Structure 1
Amino acid sequence: MPIKVLVLMMLFVFQHISVTNAEVPLKAAFVRDHQLWLKEGNQERQLTKDKYVYSPQWSYDGRFIAYIDGDEQGEKSTLWIYDTKKNQNYEPYHSIETSSFTWSPVANELAYISGWVLNVTNMKDGRPYGFRNVSLGVTGFEWYPNGNEFIASAASNRLPTGWEPIKLFRIPKDMNLNENKSKLLYSIPIDENDLFAVTVGDFKWSYDGKWVGFLGTPTPSWAMDSNPLCLLSSDGKVFRDIGRMLGFSDWFKWAPQANELAYISGEGRFFVENKNLKIAELEASTKQVEYTPKGFVDLDLEWMSPSKVIVARSQENKSWKEGPVPTMFTSLFEINLGSATQKQITFPKENELDVDPQVVGSYLTWVRKQEEMYKGDVWIKDDKQKEANIWIEDVDFSPVLFKK
């Protein structure tokens, strides 16, 4: 009997270990010590050496990672691609300088702006290589969900009569600088006392592709404190000015299965107050609901499901008026939109803060940092498990998770 009991106990222990140490079925590109790394499950490997990497992006099928090789002074911004199939870094064309690039949603084509020219890569031996010109005069862009067209913006200019409208165009990827192929989608009237922006960008499509959200950027000093958040229907017939927020692209996100846009509203460049989660429901008229309790600020967000939103929340600090900007010690909260209940779900230690929540399937990740440290560790939690664990240590920035 004792032997049987011991065997049963050992089987139980081994089963428990196999569950708690099960490989995480996620893939992430991340930056450590300025180099590009890849994390697949519980295995990680370094992909670059002697570079200064930032802004990695996955191709639609996960084979390629595009990234910028820069420098500490911000004077260099060269586009590179890592091929996970051939385990090779390469330049799609020699010395492409850009800070705005994005993959097609349906193919391994990479579009980018260089010198106000929108370009798209060609294909050679099954991977992006070379390029062709699409359009001149582009300041911001995004692929349409069909992968055959772009929404592109042209900046406003200051005229003796005032600021001219910002123009949005719908252009095919095979435009080849033929201006006759472009279509004016919408002109945004600019008013310094109402909707003020010089350029627009950070385009994001709703789940069904019927709406696109984007941020306006005013003149530099103004943009530090307030940026208009706008919506446009895909056919250009309906435009809506939703509200004002800071110019952080991660601070507005579409719901996964509804035309609802969550964003962190509030003007003022400091995080100490007036940063509130709002959700805009696009119906006949836009309805907005605020979820941040009084006395708190929300400083990031992510949709956990169609009915749950995760926010990085801290207490307000209205007593601060001058001197070094105080650190806002955020932890993650889960908001149930159906019941309107809210609960804290992460508990960082003193002088720690949890930031950058991301969701893939049932997995939630975030970065935990210490005060005044730019590096941190990536934590992960399966919605089916109670405990969270460190997944990636010592990252420079939040990782980029591969999402099909």
Structure 2
Amino acid sequence: MRIISIVLLLLFLFPFISVTKAEVPLKAVFVRNHQLWMKEGDQEIQLTKDKYVYSPKWSYDGRFIAYIDGDEHGEKSNLWIYDTKRKEHFEPYTSIETTSFSWSPTSNELAYLSGWVLNITKTKDGRPSGFENVSLGVSSFEWVPGGNELIVSASSNRLPTGWEPINLYRIPKDMNLNVKEAKLLYSIPIDENNLFAVHVGDFKWSHSGKWVSFLGTPTPSWAMDSNPLCVLSSNGKAFKDIGRMLGFSDWFKWAPHASKLAYISGEGRFFVENKSMTIADIEASTKQVEYTPKGYVDLDLEWLSPSQVIVARSKANKSWKEGPVPTMFTSLFQIDISSGIQKQITFPKENELDVNPQAAGSYLIWERKRDEGNNGDVWMKQNEQKAAKIWIKNVDYSPIIFKSN
């Protein structure tokens, strides 16, 4: 009878034990004083010395970190890789200079642009090594979710008859410069009075892989104030001009499990007004809803769940007209898009601002900065916890968190 009671007790407790088990510690890379660091759980490890690191990116399985070793003047941009298994840095090929690179979503292959040439690394002993030419004339690219193709764009040129269309192609990763392998996906007509862009980029695929969003970039002075946000179906049959926004890639993101695109809408290069968190329902004839209250601006966003969005919000400053641009002291707000209920969830001190929210599992992570400096501390809290805590001190910019596929 005693044994039966113990068994029944274990059966009763088992569901609760499985739910409350500890999560795998968060793993992230970050840059501190221009050097690459890694943090896993509570442990911090400095990975580089005497470099000028930016743009670190995790490989799909978390073994490799690609990054740029540059300089403060922007005259150098060499591609390096850190192998977390062998604990060593290496160049996939001697002196690759690039500012645009992306890991495959399914393998440890790294695609990158060198000039207008798209290349993909070969693999040797399980590591990226060497490269193969894929395509010429590429201005921007991204992997297609399956990992066997890429979407690429070719910039528009100004002709006596006007601007050329911007052409988007789907190409196989083993194209090897064979132009016959490139398939035209869509041709975007350019009109200075309607949809104006010289090239497009920042491709992001929806969760289902049915849609891809991207930003258009006009001529430099125009791009400071307005960039078209567009969406294209994966088969190239449906194109949607969503709206106008500033050219920040983090300001538009797909919902976790739906064809809904959240973005910070509004033209004008200054953050003082006219910046609203807007959600476009791509399947519902691009129905759009703005969630920013009057008198406020939203200056970043993140999906916390399929029905909740986090925004960095500040009061608008319509009185500013000239002189130094005022700092917008943002704090984080949580928006329930189902009910419309909004609430403030972080409370920075005077002259502090909370920026760059990120969601990772049950964690919400953000950077808290001070008005007088560029560096900040990384804060975190779990959904069910009320108290937030500092996770990483003194970062140059927000960490890149490894999220397993």
TM-score of the superposed pair, with normalisation by structure 1: 0.94
Offset of 1:204 from its aligned partner?
A: 0.1
Equivalences for residues 298-317 of structure 1 within 5 A: 298-317=298-317
Distance 1:373 1:300, change over 3 A: same
Structure 1 position 273 matched with structure 2 position 273 = yes
Aligned-partner Cα distance in 2 for 1:24–1:258 = 26
Q: Percent identity?
A: 77
Aligned-partner Cα distance in 1 for 2:341–2:25 = 30
Offset of 1:283 from its aligned partner?
A: 2.0
Equivalences for residues 186-335 of structure 1 within 5 A: 186-335=186-335
Offset of 1:24 from its aligned partner?
A: 7.3
Aligned-partner Cα distance in 2 for 1:164–1:137 = 14
Aligned-partner Cα distance in 2 for 1:372–1:119 = 41
Equivalences for residues 82-93 of structure 1 within 5 A: 82-93=82-93
Give the match for residue 46 of structure 2: 46
Runs of 4+ in 1 over 4 A off after TM superposition: none
- CA deviation profile, 1:14-57 (whole Å, cap 9, x unmatched): xxxxxxxx897100000000000000000010000110000000
Give the match for residue 397 of structure 1: 397
Give the match for residue 73 of structure 1: 73
Give the match for residue 337 of structure 2: 337
- CA deviation profile, 1:185-236 (whole Å, cap 9, x unmatched): 0000000000000000000000000000000000000000000000000000
Alignment partner of 1:102: what SS?
strand
Aligned-partner Cα distance in 1 for 2:283–2:265 = 20
Give the match for residue 169 of structure 1: 169
Give the conservation status (yes or no) of the 8 Å contact 1:363–1:382: yes
Give the match for residue 151 of structure 1: 151
Offset of 1:372 from its aligned partner?
A: 2.6
Offset of 1:383 from its aligned partner?
A: 0.6
Aligned-partner Cα distance in 2 for 1:281–1:61 = 31
Offset of 1:350 from its aligned partner?
A: 0.2
Give the match for residue 18 of structure 1: none
Equivalences for residues 317-396 of structure 1 within 5 A: 317-396=317-396
- CA deviation profile, 1:308-363 (whole Å, cap 9, x unmatched): 00000000001111111000000000000111000000000000000000001110
Give the conservation status (yes or no) of the 8 Å contact 1:23–1:41: no
Aligned-partner Cα distance in 1 for 2:58–2:335 = 29
Alignment partner of 1:145: what SS?
coil
Structure 1 position 60 matched with structure 2 position 80 = no
Equivalences for residues 124-135 of structure 1 within 5 A: 124-135=124-135
How many residue pairs get aligned? The number is 383
Bigger mean CA offset, 81-90 vs 280-289: 280-289
Aligned-partner Cα distance in 2 for 1:297–1:173 = 42
Aligned-partner Cα distance in 2 for 1:350–1:224 = 30
- CA deviation profile, 1:103-123 (whole Å, cap 9, x unmatched): 000101000000100000000
Aligned-partner Cα distance in 2 for 1:64–1:75 = 25
Aligned-partner Cα distance in 1 for 2:310–2:24 = 21
Alignment partner of 1:250: what SS?
helix
- CA deviation profile, 1:55-75 (whole Å, cap 9, x unmatched): 000000000000000000001
- CA deviation profile, 1:77-128 (whole Å, cap 9, x unmatched): 1100000001101101111010100000010100000010000000011110
Give the match for residue 180 of structure 2: 180
Give the conservation status (yes or no) of the 8 Å contact 1:198–1:219: yes
RMSD over aligned Cα, in angstroms?
Answer: 0.9
Aligned-partner Cα distance in 2 for 1:305–1:285 = 23
Which ranges in structure 2 are unaligned for 5 or more consecutive residues? 1-21
Aligned-partner Cα distance in 1 for 2:117–2:132 = 10
Give the match for residue 10 of structure 2: none
Which ranges in structure 1 are unaligned for 5 or more consecutive residues? 1-21
Aligned-partner Cα distance in 2 for 1:353–1:309 = 18
Alignment partner of 2:180: what SS?
helix
